Amino acid sequence: MVHVISREELPGSTARRFEGHDYGANVSFFLSETPPGKDVSLHTHPYEEVFVVREGILTFTVGDDTIEAAGGQIVVVPAGTPHGFVNPDNGRSLHVDIHTSGSMSTE
Protein backbone atom coordinates (compact mmCIF):
# COMPACT_ATOMS: atom_id res chain seq x y z
CA MET A 1 0.00 0.00 0.00
CA VAL A 2 1.27 3.48 -0.86
CA HIS A 3 0.99 6.25 1.75
CA VAL A 4 1.12 9.98 1.09
CA ILE A 5 1.50 11.93 4.33
CA SER A 6 1.65 15.68 4.74
CA ARG A 7 4.01 17.24 7.28
CA GLU A 8 1.01 18.61 9.17
CA GLU A 9 -0.36 15.09 9.72
CA LEU A 10 2.73 14.07 11.70
CA PRO A 11 2.70 14.61 15.48
CA GLY A 12 4.82 17.41 16.90
CA SER A 13 5.45 21.03 16.03
CA THR A 14 9.16 21.88 15.73
CA ALA A 15 10.04 18.17 15.34
CA ARG A 16 7.46 16.23 13.32
CA ARG A 17 7.73 12.49 14.09
CA PHE A 18 7.33 9.79 11.42
CA GLU A 19 7.23 6.26 12.87
CA GLY A 20 7.85 3.94 9.93
CA HIS A 21 6.12 0.89 11.39
CA ASP A 22 2.82 2.80 11.23
CA TYR A 23 3.15 2.83 7.43
CA GLY A 24 4.90 -0.50 6.78
CA ALA A 25 8.34 1.18 6.50
CA ASN A 26 11.64 0.09 8.08
CA VAL A 27 12.83 3.66 8.72
CA SER A 28 11.65 6.46 11.01
CA PHE A 29 12.57 10.15 11.14
CA PHE A 30 12.00 13.60 12.55
CA LEU A 31 11.44 16.62 10.30
CA SER A 32 13.05 19.16 12.61
CA GLU A 33 13.20 22.93 12.87
CA THR A 34 15.51 23.80 15.77
CA PRO A 35 15.41 27.42 16.97
CA PRO A 36 18.54 29.29 18.13
CA GLY A 37 19.91 28.02 21.45
CA LYS A 38 17.70 24.91 21.51
CA ASP A 39 19.45 21.63 22.32
CA VAL A 40 18.82 17.92 22.49
CA SER A 41 20.64 16.28 25.41
CA LEU A 42 22.88 13.24 25.14
CA HIS A 43 21.07 9.99 24.37
CA THR A 44 21.64 6.71 22.51
CA HIS A 45 19.82 4.43 20.08
CA PRO A 46 20.37 0.72 19.39
CA TYR A 47 20.71 1.62 15.67
CA GLU A 48 22.47 4.28 13.59
CA GLU A 49 21.04 7.79 13.32
CA VAL A 50 21.70 9.96 10.28
CA PHE A 51 21.26 13.74 10.43
CA VAL A 52 20.74 15.61 7.16
CA VAL A 53 21.30 19.31 7.89
CA ARG A 54 19.31 21.22 5.29
CA GLU A 55 19.73 24.77 6.57
CA GLY A 56 21.59 26.53 9.40
CA ILE A 57 24.19 25.11 11.77
CA LEU A 58 24.15 22.38 14.42
CA THR A 59 26.93 21.56 16.87
CA PHE A 60 26.91 17.84 17.67
CA THR A 61 28.42 15.96 20.56
CA VAL A 62 29.10 12.41 19.35
CA GLY A 63 30.91 10.30 21.91
CA ASP A 64 33.96 12.39 22.88
CA ASP A 65 33.87 14.47 19.68
CA THR A 66 32.34 17.86 18.96
CA ILE A 67 31.31 18.31 15.33
CA GLU A 68 29.84 21.37 13.62
CA ALA A 69 27.63 20.66 10.60
CA ALA A 70 26.06 23.22 8.28
CA GLY A 71 23.35 23.11 5.63
CA GLY A 72 24.25 20.54 2.97
CA GLN A 73 26.19 18.28 5.35
CA ILE A 74 25.31 14.86 6.77
CA VAL A 75 26.33 13.43 10.16
CA VAL A 76 26.21 9.66 10.76
CA VAL A 77 26.13 8.51 14.39
CA PRO A 78 26.96 4.82 15.04
CA ALA A 79 24.56 2.63 17.01
CA GLY A 80 24.95 2.88 20.79
CA THR A 81 27.01 6.10 20.64
CA PRO A 82 25.92 8.91 23.01
CA HIS A 83 25.02 11.98 21.00
CA GLY A 84 23.15 15.27 21.18
CA PHE A 85 23.18 18.64 19.48
CA VAL A 86 22.57 22.37 19.88
CA ASN A 87 21.77 25.15 17.43
CA PRO A 88 24.49 27.71 18.30
CA ASP A 89 23.46 30.15 15.57
CA ASN A 90 21.09 33.15 15.53
CA GLY A 91 18.86 31.52 12.90
CA ARG A 92 16.84 28.35 12.74
CA SER A 93 18.28 25.01 11.69
CA LEU A 94 16.29 22.69 9.44
CA HIS A 95 17.27 19.03 9.51
CA VAL A 96 15.99 15.49 8.99
CA ASP A 97 16.95 13.03 11.76
CA ILE A 98 16.76 9.53 10.28
CA HIS A 99 16.41 6.51 12.57
CA THR A 100 17.38 3.30 10.78
CA SER A 101 14.50 1.39 12.34
CA GLY A 102 10.76 1.17 11.80
CA SER A 103 10.29 2.01 15.49
CA MET A 104 12.19 4.69 17.41
CA SER A 105 13.97 3.66 20.59
CA THR A 106 15.83 6.22 22.74
CA GLU A 107 17.75 5.74 25.96
CA 47 to CA 79: how far, in whole Å? Answer: 4
CA 75 to CA 53: how far, in whole Å? Answer: 8
Q: Please tell me the predicted confidence (pLDDT) of residue 31.
A: 98
- Domains along the chain with CATH numbers: 7-99 (2.60.120.10)
Q: Please tell me the predicted confidence (pLDDT) of residue 79.
A: 98
- ∠ at Cα 52 (46, 57), nearest 5°? 115
98 close to 20: Cβ distance less than 8 angstroms = no
Low-confidence residues in the chain, pLDDT < 50: none
Q: Please tell me the predicted confidence (pLDDT) of residue 34.
A: 96
Q: Please tell me the predicted confidence (pLDDT) of residue 24.
A: 94
